[in-house]
Chain A
């Protein structure tokens, strides 16, 4: 195959700009300086033993394919006029396809990291001299596939396996009736006191499950506590108002409260109008809840779930209205406001522990105990990391690097 000399060099420059190869782009000045100005009518010999395979590496998502070949006989020998190799990729064996990269002479591999996973490709490699391109060497089809095992995430697998083993063990112990100790959490006793106070005053209880979506773990924990609170309010026949900011959370809250009232033996006392969807908009929700606090005058406000900037708006308004307030969230940025404005606050994991503490359900107890001992393991691993740093064993700390 013959190409005009300047067109060939311009082509190489274009390929160098367009390529996205792992190997360094061709230095155009170097190419020009190496170019043989004499006219050359003989194309170089093509590269040999071309092969391509799925590239296996750390965090491989199947978008990499390794292409390798043996040098053209005219690269460093024979005509000795090979300047580089042009690597192209197509989805059909006869199609020319797209340029993947241009590599200088002497290079025998290239990693294509632009492949679409599970797409069969054909790779074509041509040797290039100052004027001509060799006949293409073609190999294919080859597909990129993500690695089943990601070596860098072994630590995630091991620690997750340990955690699951702990949770399953403690869950089975709880199901067999073993006594699993959980220390007293002060804020939880306050919930019952708050509901009792509302009953004495003849005013409702306001339960805000946060503004998180149903897939938020804080919302799920909040709904578990809502079940417990609903049973108490059913027993005392105290109205329970549950404003929500998400439609699916409202559906779940309705189910939880209805079931709790039925279990408490007061299904007739359940009022679906008290489970209200207000608004998805954060501050519209806060404005509406503030309105409920001032107009319906609940004696107890329970804020348990995921909150953002509206937390202080709610807590301050409730304080001004004179209600007893118990809050619980794992949002670190909002805890200061709840600690300041509420009578009791469940911080972080106390919210998750509350659901197990109140319900004593074996699965919840098992997960709480499992996470507790995972914390103990974390402390031990951290101490080991400090010692490893002191003695210079960096491989131990590097094992936790997952990227």
Chain B
């Protein structure tokens, strides 16, 4: 009985949130305020028992770290007391006369985290990426060659179609000529795929590595702010933005797929767990 009750509550709140798709309404407002209030209370308890109690309250007042007893004024005690004091000083902002005191712990917090983060971020996001991107452009076994060459063949077809049909207006007013132009573009695209495959198999080029290097150069050029995007830099920046947009499109499609799966989960909850309409 209790399970049915709470399942029904969950279903009603789910439908209340979904009612937002129509327009703002009292059901959505109720569900919104409920989730904001409950989450605030929930996180207060979580933060106290997971952070304040083991790291500050227990070492200072119970003189214990985990199961181990620590002495008053011992190293562990001071290590809990000083950060705890800094945390309490943050509340000074509620008293106008001493509000300035609250800036000190905030400054220590921000500065400390920023400083601690410099070396690992530099190592993981810059140095190791530099090492990984000094790639050979030929003479290596490329396991992605098939997929890369096929994609490049599609790109050649698309670009050729654009040049023939749109730019040069081949077949304007003549459907047969236009279809012929598209077929010719497809043949050129396929020929490009075949040539690239032969070159890859012979180890003359590694198209995957070449594409990676070009994309990286272009993207770095796009984010170069010290010069205007003109000339070679402008061309590289344009290539970079194309690579960025292709990447964003792929990421968008992939994420939409995962969001649909979340929707499937919610609909499954409504139809299976609540209404028992499906197995």
Q: Is B123 touching A385 in the complex (CB atoms < 8 A)? A: no
Task: Choose from A183, A347, A401 the contact partner of B228 (Cβ within 8 Å).
Answer: A183
With A288-B36, A372-B224 as given contacts, are A156 and B119 in contact (CB-CB < 8 Å)?
Answer: yes
CB <8 Å contact, B127 and A156: yes
Given contacts A291-B24, A385-B133, A396-B134, contact A378 B106 (CB under 8 A): no
**With A336-B248, A400-B131: A368-B225 Cβ-Cβ less than 8 Å:** yes
**In the complex, residue of chain B having the shortest beta-carbon distance to the beta carbon of A381:** B130
Interface of B is mostly: helix
Stretch from A65-73, A89-97, A247-255 that touches the partner: A247-255
Inter-subunit contact B17/A287 (CB<8 Å): yes
As a 0/1 sequence over residues 28 to 47 of chain B, the CB contacts with chain A under 8 angstroms (1 = contact) are 11011001101110110000
Which residues of the partner chain A approach B134 to less than 8 Å between Cβ atoms?
381-382, 384-386, 388-389, 396-397, 400
Q: Is the interface of A mostly helix, strand, loop or mixed?
A: helix
B93 within 8 A of A: yes
Mark each residue of chain A from 326 to 351: 1 if its CB lies under 8 Å from any CB of chain B, else 0: 00000011011101100000011110
Residue total for A at the interface (Cβ-Cβ under 8 A): 70
B1 interfacial contact with A, CB 8 Å: no
B39 engages A284 (CB within 8 Å): yes
B277 at the interface (CB under 8 A from A): no
Give the nearest-CB partner of A335 in chain B.
B248
**Chain B residue nearest in CB terms to A291:** B32
Is B127 in contact with A336, judged by CB distance below 8 angstroms? Answer: no
Measured CB to CB, the nearest residue on chain A to B139 is A390
Q: Are the CB atoms of B24 and A248 closer together than 8 Å? A: no
Contact of A389 with B135 at beta-carbon distance under 8 Å, contacts A159-B126, A353-B225, A382-B130 already known: yes
Q: Is B65 engaged at the interface, CB distance under 8 Å to the other chain?
A: no
Are the C-beta atoms of B110 and A214 separated by less than 8 Å? yes
Which of B39, B134, B252 gathers most chain A CB within 10 Å?
Answer: B134
Q: List, in ascending order, chain B residues with CB within 8 A of A251's CB.
A: 90, 93, 102, 106
The interface bits of chain A over 47-81 (1 if a CB of B lies within 8 angstroms of the residue's CB, else 0) are 00000000000000000000000000000000000
Shortest CB distance A93–B (Å)? 25
Q: Looking at the complex, which of B143-151, B182-190, B192-200, B212-220 is the stretch in contact with chain A?
A: B212-220
B43 and A280: CB pair below 8 A? yes
Q: Do B220 and A333 have beta carbons less than 8 Å apart?
A: no
B113 within 8 A of A: yes
In the bound complex, what is the Cα–Cα distance between A182 and B29 (angstroms)?
45
Whether A340 contacts B252 in the complex (CB less than 8 A), given A278-B36, A287-B32, A287-B35, comes out as: yes
Selected contact of B135 from candidates A248, A340, A386, CB within 8 Å? A386
Chain B: which residue is nearest A185 at the CB level?
A: B225
- State the CA gap A375–B35 with chains docked (Å): 44
Q: How many residues of B contact A (CB 8 A)?
A: 62
Number of A-B contacts (CB under 8 A): 169
Contacts of A183 in B (CB 8 A): 225-229
CB interface residues, A 144-166, toward B, < 8 Å: 153, 155-156, 159-160, 163
Report A-chain residues with C-beta under 8 Å of the C-beta of B24: 291, 294-295
A402 to B223, CA, bound (A): 26
Give every chain A residue within 8 A of B247 (Cβ-Cβ).
Answer: 332
Q: How far is the CB of B118 from chain A (nearest CB, A)?
A: 7
* Inter-chain contacts of A268 with B (CB < 8 A): none
Contact: B223 with A350, CB < 8 Å? yes
Residues of A contacting B245 in the complex (Cβ-Cβ under 8 angstroms): 339
Contact B136 A389 (CB under 8 A): yes
The smallest C-beta distance from A383 to any residue of chain B, in angstroms, reads 8
| Mask: chain A, 277-305; 1 = CB below 8 Å from B; 0 = not | 01111011101101100110000000000
Q: Contact at B213–A386, with CB atoms within 8 Å?
A: yes
On chain A, the residues within 8 Å of B263 by CB distance are none
For A378, what are the chain B residues with a Cβ–Cβ distance below 8 Å? Answer: 126, 130, 220
Residue of A nearest to B23 (CB): A294
Chain A residue with Cβ nearest B111: A215
Contact with B along A360-398 (1 / 0, CB 8 A): 000000001100111110110110111011100000111
A360 to B209 Cα, complex, angstroms: 39
Q: Given the complex of chains A and B, what is the CA–CA distance between A308 and B68 in angstroms?
A: 39
Given contacts A278-B36, A279-B40, A347-B244, contact A386 B106 (CB under 8 A): no
Determine whether the beta carbon of A402 is less than 8 Å from that of B43. Answer: no
In the assembly, what is the distance between CA of A185 and CA of B229, in Å?
11
User: Is A217 at the interface (CB under 8 A from chain B)?
Assistant: yes
Residues facing A in B227-279 (CB within 8 A) are 227-229, 244-245, 247-249, 251-252, 255, 259
Q: Is B72 an interface residue (CB 8 A)?
A: no
Q: Provided the pairs A215-B109, A281-B39, A385-B133 are in contact, do residues A181 and B226 lie with their beta carbons within 8 angstroms?
A: yes
CA A369 to CA B259, docked complex, whole Å: 39
Smallest Cβ-Cβ distance to A287: which chain B residue: B32
B251→A332 contact, CB < 8 A = yes
Contact A287 B130 (CB under 8 A): no
Q: How far is the CB of B120 from chain A (nearest CB, A)?
A: 9
Do A215 and B114 have beta carbons less than 8 Å apart?
Answer: yes
Q: Does A220 contact B (CB under 8 A)?
A: yes
Q: CA separation between A183 and B234, bound complex, in Å? A: 12
Chain B interface residues toward A at CB < 8 A? 17, 20, 23-24, 28-29, 31-32, 35-36, 38-40, 42-43, 90, 93, 102-103, 106, 109-110, 113-114, 117-119, 122-123, 126-128, 130-138, 213, 216-217, 220-221, 223-229, 244-245, 247-249, 251-252, 255, 259
Q: A183-B225, A340-B252, A402-B128 are in contact. List 4 more A-B contacts (CB 8 A).
A: A181-B227, A280-B43, A294-B23, A339-B248
Q: Which 9 A-B pairs have the closest CB atoms?
A: A385-B134, A400-B131, A215-B113, A281-B39, A336-B252, A336-B248, A389-B136, A284-B39, A280-B43
- 10 contacts across the A-B interface (CB closer than 8 A): A279-B35, A294-B23, A347-B244, A369-B226, A381-B130, A381-B134, A385-B130, A385-B133, A401-B131, A402-B123
